[in-house]
Structure 1
Amino acid sequence: MNPSLFSFFNRGVASIFALSFGIAAAPNGFCSDVFRGNETFQSFNKAKKILEHQVIFDHRVTLYCNAPFDKDKWISLPPGFTTQVHKKRANRVEWEHVVPAENFGRFFPEWREGSPMCTDNRGAPLKGRKCAEKSNITFRLMQSDMYNLFPVIGAVNAERGNKNFGLLSASAENTFGSCAMKISSNRAEPPKYARGTIARAYKYMAYAYPIFKLSKEQERLMDVWDRQYPVERWECVRTKRIERIQGNENPFVKQPCIEKKLW
């Protein structure tokens, strides 16, 4: 069968399945003409493994602290890195959703209210991430989207949680010593070298998944960071590899990479 017809057939089957079982239909994005996101991976664990072995295999460095890590996921912490909590997670790599799963998950009714598909062993209703993952294909696709997944120090991932990014006061101290990541109250300020990458991941997620909406404040901040911190070679390499594997584009990275002849 012609590959394009095969792809069309698969999408049609997926759409019928989704409508039949109520797990993903417009406006959630999967069946919409404006859906531009991941349609390849529904498994978060599979996406992480592919990222590790096929995308960042020759650039094993964490996003926020530029800390190298080996094939066993053990991190060489930068000199002066400290953490007051989550010490057991300080030497291990974890994969962080730069746009936190909770921040896009709350747009799904299954996360907020539950679903008939989600009950515990006693038949009591469940909601939250596990329910959204079980009952909504669009959530699974978003959760597994490799453009939004980055290796980070586990302790940093734990402390950041689902906090929005923003700028803190000039007097705010680094939360992790020599790593220029600042977390205070409900906000996280990333190092300057990570801001452009973060911004283009946020803009991509809002572009690719119509269900997800950025606040006006976050939208303005990401536009500023996108302009202030342009693409560099590694971001272009990473994005090009993901496009080849996942099958869809992040135009907020691809276009400037092409313009800079880094694609």
Structure 2
Amino acid sequence: MTLTRFAIPFILLAFSSSTIAAGNTSNDSFNKAKKMLEREVYQDHRVTIYCGAKFDAKKYVQAPEGFETKTHLKRAKKIEWEHVVPAQNFGQAFSEWRNGHASCVNSKGKSFKGRKCAEKVNKEYRYMQADMHNLFPAIGAVNALRSNYNFTMLPNVKSDFGSCDMRIDSRKAQPPVTARGRIARTYMYMEQTYPKYKMSKQQRKLMQAWDKQDPVSKWECTRSTRIQMKQGNSNPVVDSRCESFGF
């Protein structure tokens, strides 16, 4: 078959899109993803993303000196696996999340939508939800208060957690400086990998700045490599910055 000069760009574009959208297609279980992270990725680096708190194999947290919280006291004792890019941010791109589905009916015959419906019906959503590149350990109370809020700069807001400089106000969150690079490279990964997720221009600009201000660490490179081995796909944003560590 002879290709015209007009057809070639479209073929290249299609190839490029399929290459970019090479996300998680090996595990659609959020619970399984959390177990793999705990046992096979973080087994020798049990440290939370936001507060740098250590935790043990049973997920109990050793709070850093000066850490405090006024809410979610029980959840402050253990770590939880946090979606850095909130599930709602990409979940709303699925019709099951927005509108429900004929299969999303509870035992009393009442229809439901949102995360539970998308998780029940849509495998593509479950793959995104279980993507380990987007899951990080966080103190439960921090995860709870951060909720599904987007990140921004909050220079006039005080920390909600004492010595852990995680600031939350008006449905926005500002993470500690030491977490910003990892957050940025996760947001960039999710946008490059999954066509259903797009950042706003303002959010993308912030993440590009944080990526430069907080360079990749050796642990971040190790984490990415381990996840690739278990999940089957890389985080090319992280990997492209890991050459100095020999990855």
TM-score normalised by L of structure 2: 0.91
After TM superposition, what 4+ stretches of structure 1 lie above 4 angstroms from structure 2? 31-34
- How many angstroms apart in 1 are the aligned matches of 2:189 and 2:180? 14
- How many angstroms apart in 1 are the aligned matches of 2:101 and 2:246? 45
- Alignment partner of 1:213 is 2:198: yes
- Alignment match, 1:172: 157
- Alignment match, 2:125: 139
8 Å CA contact 1:166–1:188 kept in 2: the answer is yes
- Alignment match, 2:51: 65
- How many angstroms apart in 1 are the aligned matches of 2:240 and 2:84? 21
Cα deviation per residue 1:144-195 (whole Å; 9 max; x = unaligned)? 00000000000000000000001002x3211100101111111110011100
How far residue 69 of structure 1 moved from its aligned partner, in angstroms, is 0.6
Task: List runs of 5+ in structure 2 lacking aligned partners.
Answer: 1-16
How far residue 122 of structure 1 moved from its aligned partner, in angstroms, is 3.1
How far residue 79 of structure 1 moved from its aligned partner, in angstroms, is 1.3
How far residue 52 of structure 1 moved from its aligned partner, in angstroms, is 0.5
Which amino acid is 1:226 matched to? D
SS at match of 1:256: coil
- Alignment match, 2:207: 222
How far residue 40 of structure 1 moved from its aligned partner, in angstroms, is 0.8
- How many angstroms apart in 1 are the aligned matches of 2:19 and 2:161? 44
- CA distance 1:32–1:236, shift in 2 (3 Å): closer
- How many angstroms apart in 2 are the aligned matches of 1:122 and 1:39? 34
Task: List runs of 5+ in structure 1 lacking aligned partners.
Answer: 1-30
How far residue 124 of structure 1 moved from its aligned partner, in angstroms, is 2.6
1:144-155 paired onto structure 2 within 5 Å: 144-155=130-141
How far residue 36 of structure 1 moved from its aligned partner, in angstroms, is 1.3
- How many angstroms apart in 1 are the aligned matches of 2:48 and 2:136? 7
- Alignment partner of 1:186 is 2:154: no
8 Å CA contact 1:96–1:149 kept in 2: the answer is yes
TM-score normalised by L of structure 1: 0.85
- How many angstroms apart in 2 are the aligned matches of 1:179 and 1:116? 45
How far residue 123 of structure 1 moved from its aligned partner, in angstroms, is 2.7
- How many angstroms apart in 2 are the aligned matches of 1:121 and 1:33? 42
How far residue 102 of structure 1 moved from its aligned partner, in angstroms, is 1.1
How far residue 58 of structure 1 moved from its aligned partner, in angstroms, is 0.3
How far residue 35 of structure 1 moved from its aligned partner, in angstroms, is 2.4
Which amino acid is 1:128 matched to? G
- Alignment match, 1:91: 77
- Alignment partner of 1:233 is 2:218: yes
- Alignment partner of 1:106 is 2:129: no
8 Å CA contact 1:233–1:262 kept in 2: the answer is no
- Alignment match, 1:21: none
- Alignment match, 2:3: none
- Alignment match, 2:115: 129
SS at match of 1:188: strand
